[in-house]
Structure 1
Amino acid sequence: MGYFKAILFCVFVAFGGFLFGYDIGVISGCLIMPDFINRFGEPTGPGGAMELSSSRQSLITSLLSAGTFVGALAQALTADSLGRRASIAFWAIVFTIGVAIQAGTTYSLAQIVFGRFFAGLGVGAMSAIVPLYNGEASPKRIRGALLALYQVLIVTGLFISYCIDLGTSNLSGSASWRVPVGIQMAWGLILLSAVAVLPESPRHLLGKQKAEQARRAIAMLNNVPMNDPLVQEEMDELSEAIREENEGGKNGWIECFSHRNKLYWRTINGMMLQFIQQLNGQNFYYYYGDTFFRSAGSALSPYVIQVILGGVSVVGTIPGMYVVEKWGRRRALLIGAVWQAICAIIVGLVGHFTLAPDNTPLDQLTPRNQAGGKAFIAFAIIHVFAFNVFWGPVPWVYLGESFPLRVRPKSIALGSATNWIWNFLLGFFSPNIAAKIGSLITLIFFGMLIFGVVYVYLLVPETKGLSLEEVDEMYRSGVKPWNSSKWEPSSVHFKRLQSKEGTFAGQTTRRGNEREAELDSNLDREPVNEKSQATRPTDGA
């Protein structure tokens, strides 16, 4: 029960990911609804039927991504000035206003586009605030799983939107699209209640010299009385870390790329993991899977195909929360990239050599086409499943736990903004690329996944089981990424804690009690970190 409140608060904040997933899914369904096309499309000729051209589709979908890019960067200002809690509420209001603008339109394409941009500001801001708050509020032993909640809520929102689109697709008139779009105002109002229920981040409060409020927040997050020794120990640790950070003077965007504490390496890693994540290939299936599945001989409606992909995504995130803590960040990324690369190359080659040309009637498919189509669909679904186990949650986990307090909002904002700009570019250019090379587009994703294996192995260290302050210590130590899973905080510090508190102290290190004997033998070989001896890593860090 000690972590119950922290888990509850982090689940609540992770609902910001639901906005992201729901909006992506709901608009893809609206684009093929007859009433939506009649209102916002253009005539094919004099007296001809209305159609939603590819340029208008790109405009409607991409303006959300443009807004999310701006929102992800802008939240760094509100997170520091207003605080994490008030910032969540502020951007929830912005998102709700954007949804209301969309739902209130009749025939104005400009209003739809502007509303999506405005809503995108809130979605983008949430994509950065969620890992920021959850990274600071989570107990370190379950921080990876709680940060992975963001991906869980993304795909849950995606799945729910597909189900609602399926349910409203047969409604007459504008209700077919107004209902799934307008219901998003309820999601925004849920997050708006954050001010009433969430404690502020203790790290932010201490950074603003609000020690008593920080003490209260630590006690609430760890579900202990304010006079519990754990509260004072974490206060001491955070105060020392903030004091050291403040010695560097005023922080700014440029500092995110400075050599101080290897910040340039950490910021670039956060941005690169988001870049590779977006070019994994999964979003291509989300956006255009119905088209490719039809070419593979599927007779299912686009809405049913979307529901299947959404369901597979939700199922994949469940083991993903276990994997990120059990296997660690590096191992999950490496295995996931190899797994998805295999799927991508099979989908690309099978699709290119066995599928029938587009628009071929189902009764004219050869046995070769049918067999290839089954393999195509199967490995596409496996690809989407693997993404949600590995590369879906882990880059967000890494983003939430890799930066010191003074630059954390800005560095996370840069990583989130990178995610959104590549989300926009993928959605904007993929249709034209796929029109020219068909399923071979997945070979581009194959190449990116192989690049991801190399990048992660050489440059991404393991952060599993470390407090945010210990992550700083690890980067300062200069440990090589491929050796980082064996790295421990100061052995002398660990020994002092163990003699003071017994086996409990052993639980606060990456490998715990089973490492006691090995740590004893390493005392003469590992350097002593004098500053770390003054503080105690706690479960609330």
Structure 2
Amino acid sequence: MLNGKAILFCAFVAFGGFLFGYDIGVISGCLIMDDFVKRFGTSNGSGGFVLDANRQSIITSLLSAGTFIGALGQAFTADRFGRKRSITLWSAIFTVGVVIQTASRHSIAQLSVGRFIAGLGVGAMSAIVPLYNGETAPKAIRGTLIVLYQLQIITGIFISYVIDLATHSIPNSASWRVPVGLQMVWGLFLIVGSLFLPDSPRYLLGLKREADARRSIASVNGVDIEHSIVDETIAELSVAIREENEGGKATWLECFSTRNMLWKRTLNGMMLQFIQQLNGQNFYYYYGDTFFQSAGTSLNPFVIQVILGGVSLAATIPALRLIETWGRRRSLILGAILEAICAIIAGLVGHFLVPPGASANPTPRNKQGGDVMIAFAVLHLFSYSLFWGPTPWVYLGESFPLRVRPKAIALGSATNWLWNFLLSFFSPRIAARIGPLILMIFFGMLIFGAVFVYLFIPETKGLSLEEIDELYRAHVKPWNSTNWKPSPKHIDAQPSMGQRFTMEKSSREEQSIN
């Protein structure tokens, strides 16, 4: 059974994803709020103001630039100060960035610096929270937290859309300061929540503080310090730490070595993150309000964003189940095909049936085209949230041996943030030139993604880390991996880490007696 601290732990871990998702969504609505455009845009020459593509890209992309640096920087603070205190530190940095943004009056430089600083915290949290979870979570909930993290990202996006809808008509700066400033509450929640969490038992064991590690495990699991769960967890962590230290400290270059086909596994993880970012979903999340203003639809663009967010949230919930029933390969290939169909239809309809300036002079023809474009945008995001949203993260978390897992996951995460930054920076510039045809770029990437998964990504559903190692060493063709079975030694004879630790401990005790 899970005690109150374990429940608090689950809520805290999931909220790290909420933080990221909320920031993605909230800026999308701000970009078309009248007061925001007036303060941070430029004069259009006729008494009004406009937020051009260059300013949009600066405002949105600076957060992603910060996340990339933060994701790498956390590796140093997590080892130096511990996981728990590192979470507190980066949450505080995020909150400072939000304060700077909220206090901005007319300076786009101040707003952008605030988003960069907030991005440092978001990026660091995106790496620290899963790391802390993997080292601390009770076994009963550890397996579902990867997809749950993605679910909370989508929840954050949806809530931000709802708040933007509620405040956008306020005729002053409160229209955007309220949704942006609310992030201070999210940051304070993380700071305060971290104070009630035990530190990572793996981190404590690495410092040879076994007594503290035992108390941490017992607290999270709601059991006595002498309980068998505590002994088993200590055993597994001790073996894992010893295996990671064999042959000296693992280097970054080892992730690309030929040992156990690590180079292929690392590149697969990085490529899936790259393809995920170029699915097209973040274009809608970042610039959906602006994009749909030109669709000639009668719907309020803020209402459209709420619909998109709600659909994404609804689609992510069944992904918790489908990831284990459908498998990784099938989910990725099917998702890429469905999204590609949506992208090409929305792109061509938007280009040929929604001429530029449709929002200023909507006609029945423009409205019909705009409605079709929005409908397929909704289907696009539904397919993404069901398949490509969670699956690359699941694959990244289960595809590497213990020795290099932190570094290999960091490389995949950094790839995600890098392309998130490039997409948010260049998308408005590209869309300003070619309009809805930007969706054809995503169409091409999705077709490439389906082919790449078929040729290079093996099925890892239901396999242990040892069995995944065997799968790669056996050079099984990815298209044959779904029916591949591990050798009997991995099915019946392979002892768990806890069993190996216990046997080794017993052997040492017998030797000392003799």
**TM-score interval (norm. to shorter):** 0.7 to 0.9
* SS of equivalent to 1:193: helix
Q: What residue is the counterpart of 1:506 in the other structure?
A: none
Q: TM-score, normalised by structure 1?
A: 0.83
Please state if 1:390 is matched with 2:391. no
Deviation at 1:374, TM superposition (A): 3.4
**SS of equivalent to 2:358:** coil
The separation in 1 between residues aligned to 2:390 and 2:144, in whole angstroms, is: 9
Question: Which residue of structure 2 aligns with residue 461 of structure 1?
Answer: 458
Give the structure 1 partner of residue 182 of structure 2: 183
Query: 1:436-515 maps to which residues of 2 (within 5 A)?
Result: 436-466=433-463, 475=472, 479-485=476-482, 491-492=488-489, 494-495=491-492
The answer as to 2:128 corresponding to 1:162 is: no
The answer on 1:152 being equivalent to 2:151 is yes
Within-5 A mapping of 1:7-26: 8-26=8-26
3-state SS of paired residue (1:171): coil
- 1:259-278 Cα offsets, whole Å, 9 max, x none, are 33433333222221111111
Identify the residue that residue 500 of structure 1 maps to in structure 2.
Answer: none
Deviation at 1:116, TM superposition (A): 0.9
> Measured at CA, do residues 92 and 467 of structure 1 come closer, stay the same or move farther in structure 2, by a change above 3 Å?
farther
- Deviation track 1:422-448 (CA, whole Å, cap 9, x = no partner) reads 112112222232333332322221221
Q: Decide whether aligned partners of structure 1 residues 187 and 431 sit closer, same or farther in structure 2, where only a CA change above 3 A counts.
A: same
CA 1:167–1:207: 2 relative to 1, 3 Å: same
Q: After superposition, give the CA deviation of every residue in 1:236-262 in whole Å (9 maximum; x if it has no partner).
A: 333223212211212333333233343
Amino acid aligned to 2:380 = H
Residue 428 of structure 1 pairs with residue 425 of structure 2: yes
8 Å CA contact retained: 1:99, 1:181: yes
In 1, the alpha carbon distance for the partners of 2:438 and 2:330 equals 27
* Residues 288, 493 of structure 1: alpha-carbon distance in 2 compared, 3 angstrom cutoff: closer
Q: Is the 8 A contact 2:147 2:320 kept in 1?
A: yes
Deviation, structure 1 residue 328: 2.8
Partner residue, 1:411: 408
SS at 1:390 equivalent: helix
Contact 1:7/1:138 (CA < 8 Å) preserved in 2? no
Partners in 2 of 1:178 and 1:27 — Cα distance? Answer: 11
User: In the alignment, what sits opposite 1:336?
Assistant: 335
How far apart in 1 are the matches of 2:436 and 2:244?
50
Q: Is the 8 A contact 2:460 2:468 kept in 1?
A: yes
Does residue 534 of structure 1 match 2:479? no
Cα 1:108–1:361 shift into 2, 3 Å: closer
Residue aligned with 2:388, SS: coil
Shift of 1:307: 1.2
CA distance in 1, matches of 2:317, 2:105: 40
Query: Residues of 2 paired with 1:12 and 1:166: CA distance?
Result: 27
Q: Which residue of 1 aligns with 2:374?
A: 377
Cα 1:336–1:28 shift into 2, 3 Å: same
- The amino acid that maps onto 1:23 is D
Letter in 2 for 1:534: R
**What CA deviation, in whole Å up to 9, does each residue of 1:438-468 have, x standing for no partner?**
3232222122112222222333334434555
Deviation at 1:484, TM superposition (A): 4.5
C-alpha spacing 1:268/1:155, structure 2 compared with 1 (3 Å): same
Q: Residues 142 and 204 (structure 1 numbering): CA distance in 2 closer, same or farther, change over 3 Å?
A: same
1:118 alignment partner, SS class: helix
In 2: Cα distance, 1:209 partner to 1:88 partner: 22
Q: Aligned-residue CA RMSD in angstroms?
A: 3.0
* Matched positions, count: 502
**Deviation digits for residues 144-170 of structure 1, max 9, x if unmatched?**
531112211111111111111222222
SS of aligned partner of 1:32? coil
1:534 Cα shift? 2.5
Point out the more displaced range, 110-119 or 52-61: 52-61
Check conservation: 1:75, 1:413, Cα contact below 8 A: no
In structure 2, do the counterparts of structure 1 residues 245 and 474 end up closer, same or farther at CA, with 3 Å as the change threshold? farther
Between the aligned partners of 1:358 and 1:49, the Cα distance in structure 2 is 17
Q: TM-score, normalised by structure 2?
A: 0.87
Aligned to 1:502: none
Tell me the distance in 2 between the aligned counterparts of 1:169 and 1:181: 12
For the pair 1:314 / 2:313, whether they are aligned, the reply is yes
Secondary structure of the structure 2 residue equivalent to 1:27: helix
Q: Partners in 1 of 2:5 and 2:346 — Cα distance?
A: 44
The CA distance in 2 between the partners of 1:470 and 1:422, in whole Å, is 31
Instruction: Tell me which amino acid in the other structure corresponds to 2:500.
Output: A
1:91 and 1:421, CA in 2 relative to 1: closer, same or farther beyond 3 A? Answer: same
Using the alignment, how far apart are the partners of 1:530 and 1:6 within structure 2?
25
**CA deviation profile, 1:507-526 (whole Å, cap 9, x unmatched):** xxxxxxxxxxxxxxxxxxxx
1:485 to partner: Cα distance: 4.7
CA apart distance, 1:489: 6.5
Counterpart residue number, 2:240: 241
Aligned-pair distance for 1:50? 3.4
Judged with a 3 Å threshold, the aligned counterparts in structure 2 of structure 1 residues 10 and 453 are, in CA distance, closer, same or farther, namely: farther
Q: In 1, are the aligned partners of 2:100 and 2:111 still within 8 Å (CA)?
A: yes
Q: Kindly provide the amino acid, as one letter, of the partner of residue 172 in structure 1.
A: P
Shift in CA distance, 115/530, structure 1 to aligned 2, threshold 3 Å:
closer
Which residue identity lines up with residue 386 of structure 2 in the other structure?
Answer: V
1:530 and 1:344 map into 2 onto residues whose CA distance is 46
**Matched residue type, 1:395:** P
* 2:507 aligned partner: none
Judging changes above 3 Å, is the alpha-carbon distance between structure 1 residues 181 and 41 closer, same or farther for their aligned structure 2 residues?
A: same
1:78 maps to what in 2?
Answer: 77
Query: 2:32·2:290 contact (CA, 8 Å) conserved in 1?
Result: no
Conserved 8 A contact 2:3-2:222: yes
**Counterpart AA for 1:161:** S
Partner of 2:253: 254
Q: Larger deviation: 262-271 or 119-128?
A: 262-271
Note if contact 2:28-2:288 (Cα within 8 Å) is conserved in structure 1: no
Shift of 1:93: 0.7
- Mapped to 1, the partners of 2:221 and 2:461 lie a distance apart of 20
Q: Secondary structure at the match of 2:241?
A: helix
Structure 1 window deviating more from structure 2 (204-213 vs 168-177): it is 204-213
Counterpart amino acid of residue 432 in structure 2: A
Structure 2 distance, partners of 1:66, 1:254, is 24
Q: Which amino acid aligns with 1:377?
A: I
